[in-house]
Structures are given as C-alpha cells and as structure tokens.
C-alpha cells in the first residue's frame, strides 16, 4: 500500500486520485503536506503569479421559498409578512450602483417561489440585458431551474434555452450542498435529488451554458460522502469536456448554522477543516481549472490563506450578500484590501470576467 506521502507526491504531479486515496488523504494527511501538494497543483495549472477576482453583486430577487431547507435562515413562506419579490425599480437601483463602481457581473438567486411564471423570469432577464447590456448575468441554481420547469410544466433544457435566449450567461452552483441523497433527505428534503442537480448542468452544457460548482461542509455529511461529492463532480466534468467542461470553478464553504434549524444540532467546523477540504478538492478535481477562496464565510485573512491551500481566485467582491448574513456571517472586503492581502502572498491581483478572461 502506498504511503500518504507517495499519494500526495503523485497527486501533485498530476496523477488522478482514486476515491479511496482521496478519503485517506482527507482523514490522514498532515495539513501542511496537503497544502504543499495543493499549491504545487495550483502553480502547475496557473503559471502566472496572480490572483483573480470579479466585481459583482449578489441580488436575491425573492426570499419566498417552499423548500424550507434546514440550513437556511434566509427563506420566507409565501404568506410571511417579510416575504418579498424585488420590484424593477429596486432591482435597477441595485444594478446601477454596481455599474457605477465598475461592476461587471450580477449573481441572481432567490427562493423557489410557487407563483412566478417562466415568463416572469424571461422578462426579468430581458429587462436587465436591455438596461445593463454590459453586465454578465450569472443566475439561478439548478434547484431553481428545476422548480421553474415544474411550475411551467416544461423540460429543463427548454427552460435553460429560453433563459439563455433572454440573457442568462451562466449558472451558479448553489444548492449542491453534498451530492449524496442520504444527506439531502436530512437537510433539504424538498429540493431536487443529486442526479437531478447534476443533470441540469448536463443539459446546460448541451446548449452552450457553463457554470460554477460548490460544496457545503460541516453539517450531517461524513468524510466518505464528501469524497463522493467530489467524485460525482469530476465524473460529470469529464463527461462534458474535461478541463473545458461545464464548470469553470469550484467553491467550498462551511455551513453557517446560526438562526437555522440546525443551530443546536450541528457543531460548526473551523478554518482548519475548511482549508483541509479546499486543498483536498484542489488535488481531487484535476479537471476543474479554478478554485475560489471562500472569504465570505471565513473572512479575508483565511481567504488569503486559501491561496496557500490551492485557491487561485478570490471569487466575487459581493457588493451585497443577504443569505449568509441572515445566518450571522457578515464578512466584507474591498479591492484595496484584496490587493494588499494578495501582494503579501507574492501575487498580483487582477480582475476577470466569469470565464476567467482578464479585463
């Protein structure tokens, strides 16, 4: 049997990990050794000494949702007094603020609203594209897409095609949590299954849409289920084109249990566990080119450390964030702080678009 050191050396050189090797590294590898191997992979995939970011805003168009996930502090029931759907005037004001500070991307996410039609979403996308033609629209998690398809009684691919025609540029990876149905039945039983989540991206790739993908740790999942999640991502990325497949980036973050139904049953995991998982993901997901630092859940200093555990990208500046803040996480940053933290790493900060083209 190979030693942990041998497995790490092979992974750093580009040899693909097996699920068994991935689990062994997750459970047994020294954290600093994992970091060194993950940085070796980052440097092999990204030869320039740079760290990238995108100037964006997260706009939650509605907080009304019928899934009632155990980990969510943001959603409201349809008859709750503080439920909302943004008016166009409210939306335009948010996007104008984004454009005024040089933003290039809007992340649209909301709840699973039982009464919003597919035409409502198409009009939303067209209105944004018409008024803000230079904004890239990164929007709607796979679970939202399936929800819209169910309400409209249409195939998922048709919904995606209509959204793309209306202005959708890419899909975020929200709602992945852990792609193991045992886990999903405990924390998000009303959401789509793992197979359905993955199939949205399969359908998206077929019509030329790309996306990012995510993972949330620190709730009811086991180490083996974390590896199963990574394995399922890697397989679909292979299926859709390898390094040029449907996903351009991966983001892992930790469950934020405050103000949720899991608050008293889940022990939050700390930065060390986050960094361990990030490094392992960089080694395991050899066909997903970019790893984002989860500074919104960890803070800017741990975000900086992420680059020593395999990350190459800060992700979005997130001019607005509502979901994590409802769970008590309120980290914020600005370009000036990111530039300073990046310089301390010996890297140069550069701005990018969704597809990782420098701008």
Q: Give the distance from CA 158 to its chain's centroid.
A: 24
Sign of the CA dihedral with 146 first, then 148, 153, and 159 last: negative
Q: What per-residue confidence (pLDDT) applies to 104? A: 95
- What does pLDDT average to over the chain? 91
With contact defined as beta carbons under 8 Å apart, do 211 and 248 qualify?
yes
Confidence tier at 12 by pLDDT (50, 70, 90)? very high
Q: Is the pLDDT of residue 290 over 80?
A: yes
Helix or strand or coil: residue 336? Answer: helix
Encode pLDDT of 312-329 as tens digits.
Answer: 999 988 665 444 344 344
- Cα gap 263→101, rounded to integer Å: 37
CB atoms within 10 A of CB 243: 13
Please check the confidence at residue 66 and state whether its pLDDT lies above 90: no
Enter the DSSP assignment of 19: H
- Give residue 84's pLDDT band: very low, low, confident or very high (50, 70, 90): confident
Measured CA to CA, the distance from residue 98 to residue 56 in angstroms comes to: 7
Q: For residue 180, is pLDDT > 50?
A: yes
Distance CA 216, CA 199 (A): 19
Strand partners, 53: 351
Ranked by mean pLDDT, the top range of 188-197, 256-265, 344-353 is 344-353
Which among 2, 23, 11, 54 is positioned nearest to 285, based on CA atoms? 11
For the chain, what percent of residues have pLDDT higher than 70? 91
- Mean pLDDT score, 100-125: 93
pLDDT, position 175: 87
Name 179's Cβ contacts closer than 8 Å, sequence gap at least 6: 194, 197, 198, 228, 229, 232, 233
Please tell me the CATH code under which domain 15-351 is placed.
Answer: 3.20.20.70
Whether 230 has a pLDDT exceeding 90, the answer reads yes
* Cα–Cα distance list, 95 to 56, 119, 162, 294 (Å): 10, 21, 22, 23
Q: Residue 144 has which token pair?
A: 């939202």
* In the chain, domain spans: 15-351
pLDDT at 322: 47
The pLDDT value given to residue 70: 61
Lowest-confidence region among 71-80, 115-124, 248-257: 71-80
Q: What are phi and psi of 261, to 5 degrees?
A: -70, -10
Mean pLDDT of 198-205: 98
Confidence of residue 258 (pLDDT cuts 50, 70, 90): low
| pLDDT class of 331 with cuts at 50, 70, 90 | very low
Higher pLDDT, 269 or 133: 133
Q: Indicate the pLDDT class of residue 335, thresholds 50, 70 and 90.
A: confident
234 — phi, psi (to 5°)?
-65, -40
Q: What is the pLDDT of residue 82?
A: 84
CB 38 within 8 Å of CB 283: yes
- Cα–Cα distance measured from residue 161 to residue 200, given in angstroms and rounded to the nearest whole number: 12
HSE-up of residue 160 (Cα within 13 Å, Cβ side): 22
45 by Cβ neighbours in 10 Å (0-12 / 13-18 / 19+) ranks as middle
Q: What is the C-alpha separation between 198 and 176, in angstroms, rounded?
A: 9
* 89 half-sphere exposure, CB direction, 13 A CA radius: 0
Global pTM reads: 0.92
Mean pLDDT of 252-278: 78
């Amino acid at each position: 049997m190979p030693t942990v050191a041998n497995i790490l050396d092979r992974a750093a050189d580009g040899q693909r990990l097996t699920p068994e090797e991935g689990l062994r590294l997750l459970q047994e590898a020294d954290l600093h050794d994992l970091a060194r191997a993950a940085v070796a992979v980052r440097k092999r995939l990204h030869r320039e000494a740079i760290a990238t970011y995108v100037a964006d805003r997260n706009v939650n168009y509605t907080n009304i949702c019928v899934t009632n996930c155990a980990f969510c502090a943001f959603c409201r029931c349809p008859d709750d007094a503080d439920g909302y759907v943004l008016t166009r005037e409210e939306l335009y004001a948010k996007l104008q603020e984004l454009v005024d500070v040089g933003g290039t991307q809007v992340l649209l996410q909301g709840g699973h609203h039982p009464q919003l039609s597919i035409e409502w979403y198409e009009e939303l996308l067209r209105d944004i594209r018409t008024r803000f033609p230079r904004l890239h629209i990164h929007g709607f998690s796979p679970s939202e897409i399936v929800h819209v398809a169910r309400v409209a009684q249409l195939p998922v691919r048709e919904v995606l095609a209509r959204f793309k025609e209306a202005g959708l540029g890419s899909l975020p990876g929200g709602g992945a949590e852990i792609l193991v149905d045992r886990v999903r039945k405990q924390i998000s039983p009303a959401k789509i299954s793992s197979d359905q989540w993955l199939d949205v991206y399969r359908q998206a790739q077929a019509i030329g849409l790309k996306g990012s993908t995510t993972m949330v740790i620190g709730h009811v999942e086991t180490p083996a289920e974390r590896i199963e999640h990574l394995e399922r991502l890697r397989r679909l990325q292979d299926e859709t084109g390898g390094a040029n497949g449907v996903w351009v980036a991966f983001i892992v973050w930790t469950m934020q249990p405050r103000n949720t139904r899991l608050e008293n049953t889940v022990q939050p995991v700390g930065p060390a566990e986050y960094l361990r998982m990030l490094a392992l993901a960089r080694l395991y997901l050899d066909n997903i080119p970019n790893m984002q630092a989860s500074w919104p859940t960890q803070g800017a200093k741990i975000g900086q450390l992420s680059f020593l555990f395999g990350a190459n990208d800060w992700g979005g500046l997130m001019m607005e964030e509502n979901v994590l803040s409802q769970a008590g996480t309120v980290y914020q940053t600005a370009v000036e702080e990111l530039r300073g933290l990046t310089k301390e790493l010996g890297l140069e900060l550069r701005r990018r678009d969704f597809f990782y083209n420098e701008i």
